[in-house]
Amino acid sequence: MIGKLQYLTITRPDLSYFVNKLSQFLATPQIPHMQVAQRLLQYVKECPGLGLLFPASSEVKLKAYMDSDWAACQDTRQSTTGFCVFLGHSLISWKSKKQQTISRSSAEAEYRAMEDATYEVVWLIFVLKELKQVHEEPVELYCDNQAALHIAVNPFFHERTKHIIWNNQNLTCFISGTNC
């Protein structure tokens, strides 16, 4: 049942979070997990019209939203990254995944989420270029954490960010709009 729900998330991103959570218990499922899966199927049956819609005319402008929850997993203390990217008004890419490292602050978790969203946006710009769709405007990347935005704009090492592993300097260049 979970495999079929995973397949359904291709066109129903509203199910992604719940299917992801249910997938974590496939090795040792319990009765409450089955009840949640059945409730999810009821939701799908009650709302058949929800899904991805692509209007016939739309502007070629990328816009991304990202967020992170800091150490939300009770077992591993890992944060979860989530982002969605729109082309005009159409959702074209999204992701929700646990971060590989454990963040020591919410700013670090948000910065890592910003990094993942930026990788996706850069890849989508290359895809658009291959499709002969030039994207010249800066991409809007929405982040709700002021500390992560400050780190992205000021990429120098200082006391508050010395614990963050800086593995990609391109993020700062991309966000500030300069050419890397």
Domain coverage including residue 168: 62-176
Tell me, yes or no, whether 20 and 68 share the same domain: no
Tell me, yes or no, whether 42 and 77 share the same domain: no
Q: pLDDT averaged over consecutive 10-residue blocks of the chain (180 residues)?
A: 85 84 88 91 86 74 84 68 86 79 71 84 91 84 76 63 48 40
Q: Residue 123's pLDDT is what?
A: 92
Tell me, yes or no, whether 68 and 142 share the same domain: yes
Whether residue 55 lies inside any domain: the answer is no
Q: Return the H-helix or E-strand segment holding 17.
A: helix 16-23
Per-residue three-class SS string for 68-121? EECCCCCCCCCCEEEEEEEECCEEEEEEEEECCCCCCCHHHHHHHHHHHHHHHH
Q: Residue 138's pLDDT is what?
A: 86
CATH number at residue 79: 3.30.420
SS3 category, 27: coil
Tell me, yes or no, whether 35 and 82 share the same domain: no
Q: Residue 175's pLDDT is what?
A: 44
What are the tens digits of pLDDT across the range 108-145? Answer: 778 778 888 888 999 999 998 998 887 888 888 888 87
Q: Is residue 40 a contact partner of residue 34, using CB atoms and an 8 Å limit?
A: no
Whether residue 78 lies inside any domain: the answer is yes
End-to-end CA distance of the chain: 45
- Provide CB contacts within 8 A for 57, sequence distance 6+: none
Q: How many domains in the chain?
A: 2
Do β-strands 90-98 and 80-87 pair in parallel, antiparallel, or remain unpaired?
antiparallel
Q: Is residue 65 a contact partner of residue 81, using CB atoms and an 8 Å limit?
A: no
Whether residue 161 lies inside any domain: the answer is yes
Q: How far is CA 17 from CA 10, 21, 40, 82, in A?
A: 12, 6, 11, 10
Do β-strands 62-69 and 80-87 pair in parallel, antiparallel, or remain unpaired?
antiparallel
Sign of the alpha-carbon torsion through 133, 136, 142, 146: positive
